[in-house]
Amino acid sequence: MKLTVLIDNNTLIDRYFLGEPGLSFYIEEDNKKLLFDTGYSNAFLINAQKMNIPLTDIDSVILSHGHLDHTWGMDALIRLNIESKIESIPYKRPVLIAHPKVFNTKTIGGLGEIGMALSEEKAARHFDIQLSQKPVWLSDKLVYLGEIERKNDFEAKQPIGDIISDAQNKPDFIFDDTALAYKSNKGLVVITGCSHAGICNIVEYAKKVCGMDRVLDIIGGFHLLDPSKEQLQGTLDYFRQLRPAEVHACHCTDLQSKIALARVANLKEVGVGLKIEYN
């Protein structure tokens, strides 16, 4: 499997890409081309073009959850696909894979809506929709995890804003938050978006779904933004025991949390343009 970072808060040194507070990964696995999240704008498309990565022939778009910094690039992807048709450029209609709650309206305080700007009805005109709470195997080795089991007592305890579901306004614990897992020959690779379900919960569920205990790498957002002492300490204790070969924490992981993680794990730098290959 090959993974390329198209969008992150940071860019690699001496590489002239665009960064933004969002996330998007391009994944190649078993002759399939996948897009994991689309960031906040069209920046992921601009970066992909600079890297000579065509996004008109992707097989699937996987959304980690419905927040704007991971989904608002969907409009740019739709524009690319429509323009491709107009210019007679070969284009593949992708499958859109996500949790059933990904299209629900999300709001927070005075900011208003912070969720998907795209309705399910409109998305269905451009993608084959596959919504699932259960794991979906994308290849023999790569799996979309679906709704994450939340079992520890130090993560995912506070809602972020509200969600409108079944015509009711409820605190949003972001149950649509999900991730990918890849069964490499050297261990499990866990690919996260924002980890609202809890990075430790996600890794444990990935281990359960894949039937593997050894973890090779964890890459993505860890949602450690000024975390509580309990959450940070619980995460550090977990990683100290887990002993992953590498950790690529990015996006929604603040500096102090990265410094703390570096004391218990082999923390690696992440930025737009990073390419990693897992066998």
Report pLDDT digits (tens) over 15-41. Answer: 789 999 999 999 999 999 999 999 999
Enumerate domains of the chain plus CATH numbers.
Answer: 2-277 (3.60.15.10)
Say how far apart CA 253 and CA 61 lie, in whole Å.
24
167 pLDDT higher than 80: no
94 pLDDT higher than 80: yes
* Model pLDDT, residue 165: 77
Report pLDDT digits (tens) over 50-76. Answer: 999 999 999 999 999 999 999 999 999
DSSP 224: B
Say how far apart CA 32 and CA 245 lie, in whole Å.
26
Q: Indicate the angle between helix axes 74-86 and 43-50, nearest 10 degrees.
A: 60
Closest of 176, 168, 161, 160 to residue 100, by C-alpha? 176
Band (109; pLDDT cuts 50, 70, 90):
confident
* Model pLDDT, residue 258: 98
156 pLDDT higher than 90: yes
Average pLDDT on 267-271 reads 97
Say how far apart CA 216 and CA 221 lie, in whole Å.
17
Closest of 33, 32, 34, 41 to residue 7, by C-alpha? 41
Closest of 53, 120, 115, 51 to residue 80, by C-alpha? 53
- Residue carrying structure tokens 């679906």: 146
Band (168; pLDDT cuts 50, 70, 90):
confident
234 pLDDT higher than 80: yes
Q: State which amino acid sits at residue 119.
A: S
Say how far apart CA 65 and CA 177 lie, in whole Å.
5
Say how far apart CA 222 and CA 235 lie, in whole Å.
10
* Model pLDDT, residue 226: 96
* Model pLDDT, residue 166: 77
DSSP 124: T
